[in-house]
Amino acid sequence: MVSLDRIKNKPPVSLQLVFFDGEESFEEWTPSDSLYGSRHLAERMANTPHPAGSTHTTMLQAVDLFVLLDLLGGSDPLIVNHFDNTARWFDRLIAAEKRLHRQGLLTSHPSEQTYFRKDVYLGPVQDDHIPFLHKGVPVLHVIATPFPRFWHTLDDTEENMHRPTVVNLTKIMAVFLAEYLGF
């Protein structure tokens, strides 16, 4: 649950969705040949003043939490925490999954904690969050690791999505979002 201190001392949090163009390179993955859209957006937000009356000076400083959803939809994804400074939010995903499982609201979900695992560390993944992370934005990277076997193949289609997992993750994210926004 969101603390009362957070509600009293911070301006209201709004939800903004950004769809990136993908992180692939044109030739070989390097810091300059990758992440074109996210690098551009992070730089633009860092140089765009926040509207008058705000406690933030730039649009980037107003980002409370950057949540990146990626490679989700395959059956039995393993999703781990990648950053210590957002571990409390990852813990909220774990709690939401457990609570929904106990309430019988998740299907094809064999145990209380199936997707979100705090006891495994695989290291950070290079993705569209990197330019924001480098500018000090807190990042919660929700990505299936290892990557689904059909990722970036001809089998990377809707037919290979595991519908119960997609529905379950949608429910978990809805609970997380409601709690984050203080509903």
Strand partners, 144: 79
- For residue 46 the two structure tokens come to 């860092």
Q: Cα–Cα distance between 72 and 141 in angstroms, integer?
A: 11
Considering the candidates 5, 21, 23, 33, report the single residue annotated as catalytic. 23
Q: Is 27 a catalytic residue?
A: no
Strand partners, 75: none
Strand partners, 116: 79
Considering the candidates 27, 70, 112, 179, report the single residue annotated as catalytic. 70
Length of the chain: 183
DSSP calls for 122-163: -----STTHHHHHTT--EEEEEBSSPPTTTTSTT-SGGGS-H
Q: Is the separation of the CB atoms in 139 and 132 below 8 Å?
A: yes
Q: Is 23 a catalytic residue?
A: yes
Catalytic positions are 23, 70
